[in-house]
Amino acid sequence: MEKFTVIAGPCVIENEEICIEVAEVIRGLQEKFPDIRFVFKSSFDKANRSSIHSFRGKGIDYGLKVLERIKKDYNLPVLTDIHETHQADTVAEVVDIIQIPAFLSRQTDLLLAAARTGKEINIKKGQFLAPWDTKNIVEKLKFGGAKKFYLTERGVSFGYNNLVVDFRSLPIMRQFAPVIYDATHSIQLPGGQGSSSGGQREFVYPLAKAAISVGIDGLFFETHPNPEKALSDGPNQVPLKEFPAVITKLLKLREFIIENEI
C-alpha cells in the first residue's frame, strides 16, 4: 500500500444527503492530511442483516449513482461491497476498490470475479478464520490476476454475540498483504439486539490505538451523522461530529511512532 489509508463512511447508503454530509467531512480531512489516502465507503446492499425485516439499502443502481457523484464532486476514491459474482463488472465501472464481505471472504468465484475487474480489492477477514488462513485468500486473488489488495481485520466470533480481536493477527496477515484494521466492526455485537447487531462504541478509539501501535497499513471506520437513527449498524458507528478528532489523534499517534522508530 503506497499511502496509509483511511476508509470511512456510513454503513449503508440510506440516502444521498447523508452520504454527501459524510463525504464533505472526509474531503476536509483529506485536505488536512494530504499524505494520507482517504476513501469514501458505503454499501448499496447489506445482504447479511440479522433479520429479514432489516433495511438492506436502495439497491445497486441508486447506490452506484450516489458513489459516482461523491467520486466526481469530492474527488475521493470510493469503495463498496459485492455479494454476487454478476455484480463485479457493474460495480467496477464506478468504484476504485471492491470489497468482499467477511462472510464471503472464502468464496472462490466471488474473489475471482473481483480480481478479473483489475480493481483494488479489500477483503474483510471472515469472523471464522484464523489469520494464517488468509494466505489462501491471497493466493486465490493472485490466481485471478489481482494486483492490489488488502486484508481487513474485524475480529473473530466465538459465538454468544461477541467479537474478539487477536492483535497477533495484524503482523501475521501483513506477511501476505497490506492490512487494514476495522475499528468499528471489531466492536460489533453480532445479533446482540436480537433482530439486529449491537455494538460497544466506547472501545473504537482504544482498540484503534492498539492497532496503530502494533502496525497496520490503514484504518476502516463507519461513521454517521446520527448513529442512533442509522438504519444499519448504528451502535458501532462513530458519530460524524466526533470523527475528525478521532482520526486526528490516531494519525498523530502513528506519526509519533514513526518519528521515534518505536
How distant is the alpha carbon of residue 23 from its chain centre?
15
Domains delineated in the chain: 5-259 (3.20.20.70)
| Average pLDDT over the chain, rounded to an integer | 94
Q: Which amino acid is at 103?
A: F
pLDDT digits (tens, 9 = 90+) for 62-111: 999 999 999 999 999 999 999 999 999 999 999 999 999 999 999 999 99
On the question of pLDDT at 190 being above 80, the answer is no
- Residue 13 CA to residue 26 CA, distance in Å, equals 16
Q: 98 versus 236: which is more confidently predicted? A: 98
DSSP state at residue 43:
B
Mean pLDDT calculated for residue range 108-116:
98
What pLDDT is stored for residue 183 in this prediction? Answer: 94
Cell matching residue 172: 501475521
DSSP state at residue 195:
S
pLDDT digits (tens, 9 = 90+) for 194-232: 555 667 788 999 999 999 999 999 999 999 999 999 998
Number of residues that make up the chain: 262
The answer to whether the CB of 58 falls within 8 A of the CB of 76 is no
Q: 134 versus 50: which is more confidently predicted? A: 134
**Chain position carrying cell 491471497:** 138
What pLDDT is stored for residue 232 in this prediction? Answer: 85
pTM for the predicted model, two decimal places: 0.95
On the question of pLDDT at 136 being above 80, the answer is yes
Beta strands 218-224; 198-199: pairing state: unpaired
Q: 133 versus 202: which is more confidently predicted? A: 133
Task: Give the Cβ contact number of residue 97 at 10 Å.
Answer: 21
What pLDDT is stored for residue 51 in this prediction? Answer: 81
Q: Which of 10-24, 101-115, 159-173 has the lowest mean pLDDT?
A: 159-173
Determine what percent of the chain is predicted with pLDDT higher than 90. 82
